[in-house]
Amino acid sequence: MSKLKNNIDKGVTNFYLNLDVDIIKESLKDDGVDVIKEDEKISKFSKRIKFMNKAIVIKEKTDNLLETIVSKFQEAIENNIDNPIASLKKLIEAKELSVQFRNLDKLTEEEIKEIIKGKNLVDLMDELDGETD
């Protein structure tokens, strides 16, 4: 982009970055835009993005926690650490899962997730931390 075009672009962008919203609304009204109707739409949308943002943060935290717990179980199986293995066996029994889940050495990541499913992850993490400390 040439310097002149760059400056014009910066000028226009800076204007909209810093312009008072009331001035914009007045101008939109002059152009025939139903600002009140749009205000409702904007308000709904901003609530939606705040909700979406919260949901994503919570989901990502949950996913991270799940990954950590799965790793801890895998590590326990690999290193034959008694207490986490016992916890895992208890969960398998409580859920009455099929035979394929009984052979811990062959458990896949997805199968461990299936075993953990429905459990309170924070409690489970605390339990594992207590056992491995």
Task: List residues near another protein by CB under 8 A.
Answer: 1-21, 23-28, 31, 38-39, 41-43, 45-46, 49-50, 52-54, 56-57, 60-61, 64
| Closest CB to another protein among residues 45, 106 | 45
Euclidean distance between CA atoms 123 and 98, whole angstroms: 25
| Closest CB to another protein among residues 30, 110 | 30
CB atoms near residue 104 (< 10 Å):
18
| Closest CB to another protein among residues 19, 94 | 19
CB of 112 to another protein, least distance (A): 22
Place of tokens 């997805």: 110
CB of 69 to another protein, least distance (A): 17
Euclidean distance between CA atoms 86 and 73, whole angstroms: 10
- 69 CB burial (10 A radius; 0-12, 13-18, 19+): buried
| Closest CB to another protein among residues 29, 90 | 29
